[in-house]
């Protein structure tokens, strides 16, 4: 069995910790180092206390005897890291920031990044050297819309979405504190969320026309998960819509179409995406649920790694939901 060597940059945050948790049990990977300037020389379990069984220690040095490099850095930090550290071309890079997701940002010197929405670019990902992993809201919204954009013209869509507190990262802010989040709900970045750029580019890539997307994101009073509802006009009947989605995702092992209402607990701690469609006259609503840290981040990154390395797409990602 082929074992690939993996390095992780930025291992002390939420996505870094989640990546370590999954890769530690991936049957075809070996974690060679976990880089963190702020936590160097501390054991990984000093920060991610559930990983008490690992002997791994954070390091502030990197080496190039690896096959895959994951960048779990803040936005703009990945670009800076690659500018200051010349990574050999033989090493494949998967970046979880937003630094390389757009057409005008996907190139850095001689490195080209392929947008890593697995269900849309599977063949390109298989041949890619470097991947720009999609944003969490962008993943949920695009999985809700790309089957429609592939069959009908999307002109205008109204979307509401709620995310858990881990979507804001580990740095403290007033809206991350438990006392603020508990029993509370708040909109933020109304109509201006940064993930709109990559969503628009993906829909335009499919239908050659940019849609009008009106997105209202909310901060929810839970730790992880995303629930989005996308509303648009469509004359197709409900069964044809379901057939369209089922056909589009028939080769996608982590996307499921439910004809009964979905709830967030069904996907927490998994790489799964559940979609449910409702229709009243010509108004269609597509509901979507994902775990923002897994399908919306590191699970999708590992799914892309599996494709790049010609492993089974589901390898290491058959995870059980924490329903209760």
Residues with catalytic function: 136
CB 312 within 8 A of CB 288: no
Which phi and psi angles does 150 have, rounded to 5°?
-75, -15
CB 133 within 8 A of CB 301: yes
B/e letters for 220-241, b = 16+ CB within 10 Å, e = fewer, are bbbebbbbbbbebebebeeeeb
Which phi and psi angles does 167 have, rounded to 5°?
-65, -15
Which phi and psi angles does 152 have, rounded to 5°?
-130, 165
Side-chain half-sphere exposure of 132, counting CA atoms within 13 A: 24
- Residue 265 in tokens: 């607990």
Q: Tell me how far apart the alpha carbons of residues 198 and 116 are, in angstroms, rounded to a whole number.
A: 11
Radius of gyration of the chain (CA): 19
Q: DSSP state, 10? A: S
SS (H, E, C) 172-207: CCCCCCHHHHCCCCEECCCCCCCCHHHHHHHHHHHH
């Amino acid at each position: 069995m082929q074992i690939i060597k993996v390095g992780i940059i930025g291992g002390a945050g939420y996505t870094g910790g989640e990546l370590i948790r999954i890769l530690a049990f991936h049957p075809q990977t070996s974690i060679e180092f976990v880089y963190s300037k702020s936590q160097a020389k501390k054991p990984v379990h000093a920060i991610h206390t559930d990983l008490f069984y690992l002997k791994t220690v954070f390091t502030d040095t990197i080496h190039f005897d690896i096959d895959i490099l994951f960048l779990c850095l803040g936005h703009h930090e990945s670009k800076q890291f690659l500018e200051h550290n010349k990574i050999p071309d033989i090493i494949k890079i998967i970046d979880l920031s937003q630094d390389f997701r757009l057409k005008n940002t996907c190139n850095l010197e001689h490195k080209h990044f392929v947008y890593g929405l697995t269900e849309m670019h599977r063949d390109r990902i298989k041949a890619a050297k470097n991947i720009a992993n999609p944003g969490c809201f962008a993943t949920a919204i695009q999985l809700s819309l790309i089957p429609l954009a592939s069959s009908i013209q999307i002109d205008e869509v109204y979307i509401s979405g709620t995310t858990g507190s881990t979507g804001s990262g580990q740095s403290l802010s007033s809206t991350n504190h438990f006392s603020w989040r508990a029993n509370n709900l708040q909109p933020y970045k109304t109509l201006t969320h940064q993930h709109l750029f990559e969503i628009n580019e993906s829909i335009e890539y499919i239908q050659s026309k940019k849609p009008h997307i009106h997105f209202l994101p909310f901060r929810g009073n839970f730790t992880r998960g995303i629930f989005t509802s996308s509303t648009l006009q469509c004359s197709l009947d409900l069964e044809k819509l379901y057939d369209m989605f089922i056909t589009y995702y028939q080769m996608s092992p982590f996307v499921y179409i439910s004809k009964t209402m979905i709830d967030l607990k069904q996907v927490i701690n998994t790489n799964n995406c559940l979609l449910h469609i409702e229709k009243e006259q010509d108004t269609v609503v597509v509901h979507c649920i994902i775990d923002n840290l897994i399908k919306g981040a590191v699970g999708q990154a590992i799914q892309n790694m599996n494709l790049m390395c010609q492993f089974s797409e589901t390898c290491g990602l058959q995870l059980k939901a924490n329903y209760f």
